[in-house]
Structure 1
Amino acid sequence: MGVKRKAAAAILVLLLLLGTLWLQGGLDYPWDSCIKGYNQINQIQQQPNSSEADASELPPVPTRCPGQTFQVSVLLSHLLAASTPPSDVVLQPYLSSWDELVKFMEALGPMVGLISSEIKSKTSIIRQLALLSDKNPEAEVGADELSVNSLNTQTGDKRDSGASQQTGAYHSLRSMIRVEVSRGLVDFKRQTESGCRTILRLHRALLWLKLFLQKLAEIPPGGRFRSPSELCREAYQNTLAVHHTWFVRRAAEMAFIAMPERSFFFRLVCAQNQEVLSILLNRVVKAIGVVYDRTQEVLEENGMLDLP
């Protein structure tokens, strides 16, 4: 019994460390290999899924899936709102998209859900920067001014900061970059907790989730489906793993082992079968792809893909 408890404790420590390093260290490495891997994956998977062609004949996205915290319709609405303006990304719905993706990860179980804690902290950083900037537009507000309590705020401040982003300096990705550069918040030689650098971390994590959902939506020709655990691990290996240490990669493998079976995802999005699941997930993947590509373009234009 003592051995089992020690093993369980060791696993918990590993997973907690994974959640911290997932975005703290793992997403801070150079981007080139991640983007190259993304392009290679896209070249392999350019063939359209046959289920997409029949989308009009299948049920629409449910407005609400009873009994589920994560709602695919809410995620889609936020993603579409984030990419409304041409060649830009609106930050308030972008962050709201992450709120819904966090619910998605937490629905997969406590082990996978541990990863979401760092994503919450990153979205909170951007929201608090937006809120402080809105209160004092001329000040050079940096992450050092954010208190521990303000960063841990997950409800009331989230609504207030979201409202400030609608018209403030942090309204969109381009406006945030323009303001942070002008105020000296972005340093190209040392690490800073600016909104721009935080977006980089979220941007890389979004690629991992996009690829996982894309793989989960695929219908293999022979009808032999691989497990979500295997698909998530493969998506991770093609995106984030190349930037993680051996220790973090092993911890990630342990988290993915606990992922639910495919039938769980049917219930999660109210899909009757794999064909309907594919339709729903392909819509999500397409919407994520627009936001991801738009973010990539804006960051590249401003020379921010190599921020330390």
Structure 2
Amino acid sequence: MANSVEEKFSLREVLDTFSLCLSENKEVYVQHYVEGWRGLVRFMNSLGSVFSFISKDAVNKIEILVNFLNGENGAHYVTIQSMVKYELDNELVDLTRRDKHPESGCRTLLRLHRALRWLELFLERLRTSSEDSKTSVMCSEAYNESLAQHHAWIIRKAAGTAFWALPGRQTFFDVMNVGTPEQVVAMLGNALPLISEVYNITENLYAQHDLLQLP
């Protein structure tokens, strides 16, 4: 029983984790970024298998980044900024092909970064939606504005089908374990700017180094 409680999603915990992500000079700590993602994976898993095509990939990417953090060069992976500098300086990023360093930290984190944008857009729609809004429509719109452009046609089609099986808005709010719908909306209002800031800092860093389209 303890394990199931431990795995329970808490929006408040994710908020706390993302609030720790940024250093004083706005560098993003990989450890807290990964922890925030672990919480988001719990959120997706709480809703059944509908998001498994994203959550399973996220778990794999989290594991790769944790291995870098715990590895012999872990000091270079403390922040996203130090990771990008280290990997580019040492030619550890495949800028044109994926066979030499397919699991570089830069490429791995980019996949999480793209998925974070989808979740941010979806959660923002949930926050501003009305009681009778369709979660399937909100989720599809968020997906089409973000992750879809990076997925093959067959994945896009499977995702579109899966989203139609999403539960209603109230089920999402219940899963967040915050309280009343009003309390969920208020907490999302606090959480999303933090997630957005982490996303935007990462986006600008990757854009600066031409890493947004890593193969």
TM-score bracket relative to the smaller structure: 0.7 to 0.9
Q: CA 1:270 to 1:129, structure 2 compared with 1: closer, same or farther past 3 Å?
A: closer
Alpha-carbon contact 2:76-2:82 (below 8 Å) kept: yes
- What letter is aligned with 1:216? L
- What letter is aligned with 1:201? R
1:110 is matched with which residue: 30, 41, 49?
Answer: 49
2:122 is matched with which residue: 204, 208, 212?
Answer: 212
1:77 aligns with 2:1: no
CA distance, structure 2, for counterparts of residue 184 and residue 68 of structure 1: 38
Query: Alignment RMSD, CA only?
Result: 2.0
- Map of 1:202 onto structure 2: 112
Q: CA 1:97 to 1:272, structure 2 compared with 1: closer, same or farther past 3 Å?
A: closer
- Map of 2:72 onto structure 1: 133
- Map of 1:282 onto structure 2: 189
CA distance, structure 2, for counterparts of residue 133 and residue 181 of structure 1: 18
Displacement after TM superposition at 1:246 (Å): 2.8
CA distance, structure 2, for counterparts of residue 170 and residue 244 of structure 1: 27
1:237 aligns with 2:144: yes
Displacement after TM superposition at 1:195 (Å): 0.2
Displacement after TM superposition at 1:302 (Å): 2.3
- Map of 1:8 onto structure 2: none
Alpha-carbon contact 1:229-1:259 (below 8 Å) kept: yes
CA distance, structure 1, for counterparts of residue 97 and residue 23 of structure 2: 33
CA distance, structure 2, for counterparts of residue 249 and residue 305 of structure 1: 20
Displacement after TM superposition at 1:284 (Å): 1.8
Alpha-carbon contact 1:83-1:290 (below 8 Å) kept: no
Displacement after TM superposition at 1:272 (Å): 4.5
1:226-266 residue CA offsets vs partner (Å, 9 max, x unmatched): 12122111111121223333321210012112212122123
- Map of 1:120 onto structure 2: 59
Displacement after TM superposition at 1:173 (Å): 0.7
CA distance, structure 1, for counterparts of residue 131 and residue 70 of structure 2: 49
1:73-127 residue CA offsets vs partner (Å, 9 max, x unmatched): 1101110111233232110000001100000000111232342111110111111
Structure 1 unpaired stretches of 5+: 1-65, 135-164
- Map of 1:185 onto structure 2: 92
1:274-298 residue CA offsets vs partner (Å, 9 max, x unmatched): 3222111122211110100111121
Q: CA 1:90 to 1:296, structure 2 compared with 1: closer, same or farther past 3 Å?
A: same
TM-score (norm 2): 0.88
CA distance, structure 1, for counterparts of residue 84 and residue 173 of structure 2: 39
1:176 aligns with 2:115: no
- Map of 1:139 onto structure 2: none
Alpha-carbon contact 2:9-2:46 (below 8 Å) kept: yes
- Map of 1:153 onto structure 2: none
CA distance, structure 2, for counterparts of residue 186 and residue 224 of structure 1: 46
1:293 aligns with 2:207: no
Displacement after TM superposition at 1:201 (Å): 1.0
Alpha-carbon contact 2:7-2:42 (below 8 Å) kept: no
Q: CA 1:249 to 1:303, structure 2 compared with 1: closer, same or farther past 3 Å?
A: closer
Identity of aligned residues (%): 35
CA distance, structure 1, for counterparts of residue 181 and residue 16 of structure 2: 23
Structure 2 unpaired stretches of 5+: none
Matches within 5 A, 1:49-64: none
CA distance, structure 2, for counterparts of residue 302 and residue 175 of structure 1: 13
TM-score (norm 1): 0.63
CA distance, structure 1, for counterparts of residue 150 and residue 107 of structure 2: 16
The structure number with the bigger radius of gyration is: 1
